[in-house]
């Protein structure tokens, strides 16, 4: 820039020569690291996505894990509703084409099931059921609290068959 005449520097006659150099900012490493961590935390917070690499995530269990995954669960529910609407539209469209080919399919009879792969704390659920039964709550109500039991009546029938197959020790002489 000096040679092109953009900057005109006159020497003062002292032993130091005048010089023009670029200024560079000395960036503190801790500032950069803190800024990146804050950005990452904000990305997870605003996208309502849990940080699975977080140190505190591995030690969470039960209710606290559900609270950490609540935002993600909400997003999954909204996505599921959108997928359901899109799939119903697709089936209606396909059924109208099939109807022209004399293939009758009722799109309202088609069922779709979405299953989430959500971590469950079955030990806590079993302890809760035991406490409910111990408190005098009917077994059917207690067993309905188990997340992996879909049909409580079937479970009750299985328990009845199991107990009928075992001989009572009172009858043995």
* DSSP secondary structure letter of residue 150: S
Q: What is the pLDDT of residues 70-101, one digit of tens each?
A: 878 888 899 999 999 999 999 999 999 999 99
Q: What is the DSSP letter of 167?
A: P
Token reading at 159: 């328990």
- Residue 2: pLDDT above 70? no
Distance CA 122, CA 36 (A): 38
Q: What percent of the chain has pLDDT over 70?
A: 82
CA distances from 94 to 69, 81, 90, 111, 156 (A): 36, 20, 6, 15, 42
b/e per residue 73-86 (b: at least 16 CB within 10 A)? eeeeeeeeeeeeee
Could you tell me the two tokens for 14?
A: 């002292």
Q: Is the pLDDT of residue 59 over 70?
A: no
pLDDT tier at 167, thresholds 50, 70, 90: low
Per DSSP, the three-state class of 79 is helix
pTM over 0.75: no
Q: Which residues contact 80 (CB under 8 A, 6 or more apart)?
A: 114
Cβ count near 155 (within 10 Å): 16
pLDDT for res 97: 94
Query: Of all residues in the chain, what percent carry a pLDDT higher than 90?
Result: 33
Q: Quick one: tokens of 17?
A: 């020569």
Mean pLDDT, rounded, for 107-130: 85
Nearest residue to 86 via CA among 102, 63, 58, 107: 107
């Amino acid at each position: 820039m000096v040679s092109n005449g953009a900057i005109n520097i006159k020497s003062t006659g002292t032993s130091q020569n005048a010089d023009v150099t670029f200024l560079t900012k000395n960036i503190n490493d801790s500032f950069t690291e803190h800024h990146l961590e804050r950005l990452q935390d904000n990305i997870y917070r605003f996208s309502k996505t849990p940080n699975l690499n977080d140190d505190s995530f591995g030690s969470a269990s039960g209710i606290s894990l559900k609270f950490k995954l609540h935002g993600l669960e909400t997003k999954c529910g909204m996505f599921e509703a959108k997928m359901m609407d899109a799939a119903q539209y697709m089936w209606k469209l396909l059924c109208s084409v099939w109807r022209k080919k004399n293939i009758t399919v009722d799109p309202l009879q088609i069922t779709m099931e979405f299953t989430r792969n959500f971590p469950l704390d079955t030990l806590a659920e079993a302890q809760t059921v035991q406490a409910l039964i111990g408190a005098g709550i009917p077994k059917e109500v207690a067993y309905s609290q188990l997340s992996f039991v879909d049909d409580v009546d079937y479970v009750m029938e299985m328990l009845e068959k199991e107990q009928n197959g075992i001989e009572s020790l009172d009858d043995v002489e």
